[in-house]
Amino acid sequence: MKIDRISIKNYKTLEKLDIPINTFYTAICGKNNAGKSSLIEAVRTILGSDSHDPFDYSSDFEVKHNSDFTKWKTEKTEPISFCLSISLDNKLDTGLIRFIEKFLKKKDEETIEKKDNYVLEVSLKFHPDKSNPEISMKFENDTLDDFGSREVLSKIKSSRTLIFHNSTEVTRRYGRYHGWFEDFTDQERTSVKAKRDKLQKEFKKISDRHKADLVDLLGRLNEKYDINLTVPGYNFERIPYEISLGEKDFDIPLDGWGSGTKNRTLILKSLFNAKKFLATTDDSKKIAPIVLIEEPESFLHPSAQAEFGKLLQDLATEFQIQIITTTHSPFILSNLDDPTSNILLERNIERKKLRETIKVETSGKDWKKPFSLALGIDSPEFDNIRNVFFSTSNSLLLVEGETDKEYFELLKDQAHGKHRLDFDGEIYSYGGYGTLNSTVLLKFLIEKYKKLVITFDLDAHKHVKKSLESLKLQDESDFFKIGIDSGGKRAVEGLLPNNVFNKVWSDNVELVQQMTSDNKEESEKAKNKLKKLYLEEFKANARPGDEYYKEFYKMTAKLNRAFKDK
């Protein structure tokens, strides 16, 4: 199963919310009380287990119209409504598709049309004057009757294919147990049962020998007794097995680890269980699971959050299992370009009072809102550096602007021989020296990357030196000034040979004049245009060697030494 759309009406702050989802990994972001948990509750109400097992927390609440109906609406005769549009895969959801088929056969006994994917729409309506919800279901273009709808929903719930993990309640909810014997696959249970039967027979032989010995001993008494030894029928169905994690020569029970380690391990256990659903060979039981995770970043350091966030995304794609998370961390947000992979929720304000939850537009220029909302830093700073959170490299060279990056990328060419920029890593532009004053971001980068080197224009040194040194970074070792200490050359362009400047200036006299203008905006615009022209001229004519790269080679020698020493 894969949820394609969630529609909710009149439930708590979710007065009217409609959310499309296209990807296997989706992150829902928003401030506290924005409606994230209410959205998850709606999904759990429809798909969660209705089991009374005390260890089953997939559906441990119920919807009550009187208390859950949107508070500020005066007319309370409308129902609370939940609706899910779900994709079913013909291979992964065979069990559910065949079960639905039983309720859709026509009079001529024809079955449903064979397709790769089907659409199932499930709706629950909670009316104020009814104790039980109204259930309706549509499969492709066919509407199931009331009996069929209830049977199909019962099938979904009893299959326990919705796996829910609340990271904020990791200890109370999950303890340290990995699972029960009944969680094994059909093949695993068959194998264990065969060995169990063999073990029972061996117990019986031993007990018969012990019985004979005891009867002989009891026969020496004056009073006569009959004796019988009974081999207990061990209930392998409810035998728990625990998780331990290894550290050097020791295996430590999960309870002995920190909350962050426990949380990650138990989430991965949930994904492991989800993957097992896909492994069954019994077509009647095949239903692809959906995994809901509340705040997977809980108890994790930012660098661990970034690593774990990428892992969750990779596993969702690899396993083809839908994962929906709620989060307050930008490191858990999806790095996909699809705008539906990240959802930002916030509350409308009416007359200074919080009202309904809305989905914020996060495509286009507004994509950065979830990041700034979660981190509490200026959006432009995070915008310029966000891609490094999802990099898989161990080494990173941070440069001030995109033009800097292009110059340094040229220096990685093998044609430069011993003078080439030689490190196995990536180059990222952070978009202006102001970003280097964000110690939150820099702390994360320092801990994430084994080798991190930062460069900036020479004229920015006085603006960033204090913040860099406060993080124990060292001048000419961890960070480097780019340019020559001379007028107009205190930037990466200062490393260019004079013939580049002469050619660009002679061809663009008007721009050179504008650069000296008293109008700051005009001057800055001209300066930026000239920077692009310098780069174009350099890329068009420069060849490896001292004629064009002499000053650059001095810089690469320092950088190569810095990466080698780290």
User: Per residue in 36-88, pLDDT tens?
Assistant: 999 999 999 999 865 434 334 344 458 889 889 999 988 889 999 999 999 99
Q: In this structure, how many other beta carbons lie within 10 angstroms of the beta carbon of residue 105? A: 11
More confident residue, 210 or 341: 341
Q: To 10 degrees, what angle do helices 461-470 and 439-448 make?
A: 60
For the cut 90, the answer to whether the pLDDT of residue 540 exceeds it is: yes
More confident residue, 183 or 44: 44
β-sheet with 395-399: strand ranges across: 426-429, 395-399, 451-457, 479-482
For the cut 70, the answer to whether the pLDDT of residue 550 exceeds it is: yes
Residues 6+ apart with CB under 8 A from 36: 28, 29, 30, 326, 345
Q: How many whole angstroms separate alpha carbon 211 and alpha carbon 228? A: 7
347 with 354: CB under 8 angstroms? yes
Strands, DSSP E only, in 277-352?
290-294, 322-327, 342-350
Residues 6+ apart with CB under 8 A from 29: 36, 326, 327, 328, 333, 342, 343, 344, 345, 370, 373, 374
Q: What is the pLDDT of residue 170?
A: 47
414 with 468: CB under 8 angstroms? no
User: Per residue in 490-502, pLDDT tens?
Assistant: 999 999 999 999 9
Q: What is the pLDDT of residue 178?
A: 46
More confident residue, 63 or 108: 63
* Strand duo 14-20 + 2-11: pairing: antiparallel
Would you call 124 helix, strand, or coil by DSSP? strand
Q: What is the pLDDT of residue 265?
A: 75
Residue 372 pLDDT level (bands cut at 50, 70, 90) = low
Would you call 229 helix, strand, or coil by DSSP? coil
For the cut 70, the answer to whether the pLDDT of residue 413 exceeds it is: yes
Q: How many whole angstroms separate alpha carbon 46 and alpha carbon 5? A: 13
Q: What is the pLDDT of residue 371?
A: 60
Name residue 121's amino acid: E
- Torsion, Cα 420 527 377 429, to 10 degrees, reads -10
Mean pLDDT across the chain: 81
More confident residue, 151 or 183: 151
Name residue 264's amino acid: R
Residue 138 pLDDT level (bands cut at 50, 70, 90) = very high
More confident residue, 373 or 39: 39
Residue 134 pLDDT level (bands cut at 50, 70, 90) = very high
Q: To 10 degrees, what angle do helices 302-319 and 259-279 make?
A: 0
Stretch 29-41: mean pLDDT = 89
Residue range 2-174+271-365, CATH number = 3.40.50.300
pTM: 0.64
**Per-domain residue ranges for the chain?**
2-174+271-365, 177-242, 379-565
Ranked by mean pLDDT, the top range of 265-269, 280-284, 441-445, 487-491 is 487-491
For the cut 60, the answer to whether the pLDDT of residue 175 exceeds it is: no
Q: What is the pLDDT of residue 177?
A: 41
Q: What is the pLDDT of residue 260?
A: 66
* Strand duo 395-399 + 426-429: pairing: parallel
More confident residue, 559 or 110: 559
426 with 397: CB under 8 angstroms? yes
Comparing CA positions, the residue from 558, 506, 505 lying closest to residue 530 is 505
Residue 152 pLDDT level (bands cut at 50, 70, 90) = very high
Q: How many whole angstroms separate alpha carbon 323 and alpha carbon 164? A: 10
- Pinpoint the alpha helices (H) of 49-185: 65-68, 94-101, 146-158, 170-174
Stretch 548-562: mean pLDDT = 95
For the cut 70, the answer to whether the pLDDT of residue 90 exceeds it is: yes
Stretch 338-363: mean pLDDT = 85
| Region of poorest pLDDT, from 1-5, 9-13, 168-172 | 168-172
User: Per residue in 203-254, pLDDT tens?
Assistant: 778 877 776 776 676 666 665 556 566 655 555 555 555 555 555 555 545 5
Q: What is the pLDDT of residue 174?
A: 40
Distance in Å from the first CA to the final CA of the chain: 47
Q: How many whole angstroms separate alpha carbon 102 and alpha carbon 111? A: 8
